[in-house]
Amino acid sequence: MFDVERSMFKPRTASLIAERHAAFTLIELLVVIALIAVLAALSAAGIARGIEEARRIQCLNNLKQMVLAAHVYAAEHDQSLPPSYVRTFSRSGQTETWESFLWEMGADFQIQQCPSFRGEAQWGDDKYTGYNYNSSYVGGRLLRRGEASLPGSAKSATLPAIKTPSQCALFGDGEYEKGANKFMRSPYPGALDFDASLAVAGTQGFRHRGRTNVGFADGHAESLSTRYTDTAAEAPAANCGFISPDNSLYDLD
C-alpha cells in the first residue's frame, strides 16, 4: 500500500520541479530587463545617428543648389556673383541681403534652412536660416542713395577671377554665439572686409556631429571636421570656427 501511495506522488513531484525550472527567478528577470534597456538605448542612438546623417546629406544638397543658383546669377550678370547686401540710404532705408539676389529667378526658400540648425535667425524677418555667404572675398556690398553708388561700396568677385574654384567657399553652415549669420568671414581680413572684428560673427557652425558643411565655387559640397579658431578678432564661440587656418579656403587664389 505504501509503495502504491508513494508512486502516486511521483508525477506531482516531477510536475513541481518542472514548474520551478520553467519560471524566471527575480535575478533572471532583472537581467532580461537590463538587456532590453541596453538594446533599446543602442537602437535609439543608432536611429539618432541615422537621422542626423540624413540631415547632413540634405544640408549638402541645399548648399549644392545654392552654388548652382550663384552660377545662374553670374551667367545673367556678366559673370559677377551676387552681392552680400545692398543698403539704400533714404527715409525708408532698407537692406537687401544676398538671398534676394541669389533666388531672383525664383526658388523654394526652404533651401535656406539648414535641417540641423535650431538657433535664432540673425535677421528678425527671416523665415528660414542657417547658411552664410562668403563676404570676405566673393560677395560685395552696394551702398547707395537713390541710384547713386556711395563710397564704401565694393563689387562682387566674378567667376573667372576665382583661380581654384574647388578651394573657394561660397556658402556654408553659418553660426556664432547668438544664432545664425548671413556673412561668412575669413579668419583674417579679406579683400572685401573693412574691419577685422567682422570675423567673430562670420564663423561656421560645426553642428553636424562635429562637422560643418561647405559649398565650393566648383559646385561640390563637403563636410569638414577640422575647426580652426585662430583669428584676428576675438576667439569664436563654442562649436564655431573657421574652415582653414588662414584665408586659403576663402580667397580667390
What confidence score (pLDDT) does residue 253 get? 95
Determine which of 12-16, 185-189, 211-215, 224-228 has the lowest per-residue pLDDT on average: 12-16
**DSSP sequence for 170-223:** EEEEB-BTTB--SEE--SS--TT-S-GGGGGGSPEE-TTTS-EEEEETTS-EEE
Query: Is the pLDDT assigned to residue 16 strictly greater than 60?
Result: no
Query: Is the pLDDT assigned to residue 146 strictly greater than 60?
Result: yes
Residue 204 lies in a domain: yes
Confidence of residue 179 (pLDDT cuts 50, 70, 90): confident
What confidence score (pLDDT) does residue 64 get? 97
pLDDT over 70 for what percent of the chain?
84
Q: What is the pLDDT of residues 115-142, one digit of tens each?
A: 999 888 878 788 899 999 999 999 999 9
Query: Is the pLDDT assigned to residue 193 strictly greater than 50?
Result: yes
Query: Is the pLDDT assigned to residue 9 strictly greater than 80?
Result: no
Residue 205 lies in a domain: yes
With 0-12 CB in 10 A as exposed, 13-18 as middle and 19+ as buried, what is 46? exposed
Residue 46 lies in a domain: no
> What's the distance, Cα to Cα, between the start and end of the chain in Å?
108
Retrieve residue 59's grid coordinates: 544640408
What is the arithmetic mean of pLDDT over 105-113?
78
Interacting residues of 93 by C-beta distance below 8 A, sequence separation 6+: 87
Query: Is the pLDDT assigned to residue 37 strictly greater than 80?
Result: no
pLDDT over 90 for what percent of the chain?
62
Domain count, the chain: 1
Cβ–Cβ < 8 Å for 73, 159 = no
CA distance 193 to 185: 8
Please give the residue range of the domain that contains residue 79: 58-241
How many C-alpha atoms does 83 have within 13 Å on its Cβ side?
Answer: 14
Residue 163 lies in a domain: yes
Retrieve residue 93's grid coordinates: 532705408
Residue 184 lies in a domain: yes
* Amino acid at the residue 238: A
Cβ–Cβ < 8 Å for 67, 170 = yes
What is the arithmetic mean of pLDDT over 154-183?
95
Average pLDDT over all residues of the chain: 87
CA distance 145 to 89: 5
Residue 37 lies in a domain: no
Cβ–Cβ < 8 Å for 62, 114 = yes
Residue 248 lies in a domain: no
Each as own residue / partner, the long-range contacts of residues 123-129 (CB below 8 Å, 24 or more positions apart, any chain) are 123/97, 123/182, 126/180, 129/179, 129/180
Residue 39 lies in a domain: no
Helix (H) or strand (E) holding 87: strand 85-88
What confidence score (pLDDT) does residue 76 get? 94
Query: Is the pLDDT assigned to residue 21 strictly greater than 70?
Result: no
Q: What is the pLDDT of residues 195-208, one digit of tens each?
A: 999 999 999 999 99
Cβ–Cβ < 8 Å for 230, 245 = yes
Query: Is the pLDDT assigned to residue 1 strictly greater than 50?
Result: no
